[in-house]
Amino acid sequence: MITRSAHFPNLEDAAFDAARKTITETHCSFCIPRHPCYFPAHITAATGAAKPMEDRDYRVAFPTRGSILGAAELAALADLVNSEQMLSDGRWRSAFEHRFRDHVGSRHALSVTSGTVALELAIHLADLRPGDEVIATPQTFSATIHPLLDRDVRVHFCDIDPATLNIDPAQVEATVSDRTAAILLVHYGGYPAEMERIVAAAHRHGAVVIEDCAHALGAVRHGRRPGALGDIGCFSFHNTKNLTTLGEGGMLTFDRDEWYVRLDRIRSNQPDVVCRTPQSPTPPPTPLLPWMRFSGEVYAYDYAQILRAGTNATMSEAAAAVGIVQLDRLAELAARRREIARRLDDCLGRYGQIRLHRPPEGVTHAYHLYTFFVEAGQAAREHLVKALDRSGVEVQLRYFPLHLTPEWRARGHRLGECPQAERLWFDQQVNLPCHPGMTDAQVDYLVEAVTAALDETLPPTGPTGLDERAAARA
């Protein structure tokens, strides 16, 4: 969390109070691209704190694309174009959904136009009513919980487990009640959350568990995949994700048949409704012929309640065709991420004041984000990220604690509400590039740069000194 001694040791009390107030009232809700510092420029200028890094080209950068597209994807697009088949709502979309359903292990998979749309629709399926309570993680991208801003519900931010950065099951168990209607969580960076305890606690109180699986393709927890661990899984195929469908796309996974019917209506421009038998059907002035639109249904029932308007959330056939190829390549792409992560783990694991984001036996990390923690204090973390930036390695911090963003402070949330999330983000957390588009030469350079920056930042610990580290590298 933000403290004067740790973050602004040279400021008087009044100046620090003003700086903390400005940070907690103005900081953006997501990490600033190419910006390894954690205070906005106007804060650092006002307080004399370290200035943020300037935008520039990096020798090892975060990806412009999270996946790799090549000849196989081009061939799939050529097949689609040359087929003269429909470019919307066709066989490629159906095939992608079936393949994705089988991969995740859910009964249904339904595609939409983005991961954000998937989350909006999942929250709609929770059937929230005014006064309901929703439990959410503070350590995620803002889209996970933004739809809740439109609803008259009370959001409880549950703090995170410092080992995983996922929502803490113990905090969930202590917070959930009969007033809880839903729990929203993310598998942070691709590290699967401890779903067994969370789902059990939720279901004891009749709450729905929504998994944000945007980071989690390639992850496994004790033989099961994210998206089939809770009640509803939401996937993103955005440009930066582990699997992409030409820049945008999303998928919902779930088991309930009635949810499929409701979602399919909504994404196809039909309202989500509660139907009833017509009370007094009015016959048309002339008979409707079979090929006329609505001829078989317009007088078949009435709507007792309209729950939501429909929209067009149909994934294009081009996106689905690329998604099928990407899903076939997922094992290869995920293996490359894990290979890079192993190299970084081997490097960082030699330093006693560095803690790794490494899962236990039986859990496979997808490494959408590679994360580690500097436990030598905030100043050491700041020195390290500056050294990495000077060496041409881009560093990012994901994600700023959501309960401190302006929209959630407007709902009454404040600093100190999630002390673990605040402490880790402001003092310890670091994200490094780790994606399949990195060359072997870039990985080698990244390891060398991280080693050099750590040797410069942290004193030797134990019997292994700098000379022995250098010998080990050689």
Strand-pairing partners, residue 316, are 88
CA-to-CA dists, residue 323 to 81, 210, 326, 366, 423, angstroms: 16, 23, 5, 18, 38
Does residue 57 register a pLDDT over 90? no
Mean pLDDT of 348-359: 96
The answer to whether domain 4-65+330-473 and domain 71-263+312-327 are alike in fold is no
What's the CA angle centered on 75, arms 74 and 79, to 5 degrees?
A: 120
Quick one: pLDDT at residue 36? 33
> Residues 6 or more apart from 469 whose CB is under 8 A from it?
350, 451, 455, 460
- Residue 92's H or E segment, with its range, is helix 91-104
Q: pTM for the full model?
A: 0.87
What's the pLDDT band for 104 if we cut at 50, 70, 90?
very high
Q: Looking at domain 4-65+330-473, does it have CATH number 3.90.1150.10?
A: yes
Least confident stretch, 91-95, 276-280, 379-383, 450-454 = 276-280
- Tell me, which fold does domain 71-263+312-327 have in CATH? Aspartate Aminotransferase; domain 2 (3.40.640)
User: 38: cis peptide before it, omega within 30°?
Assistant: no
Q: Where are the chain's structural domains?
A: 4-65+330-473, 71-263+312-327, 271-309
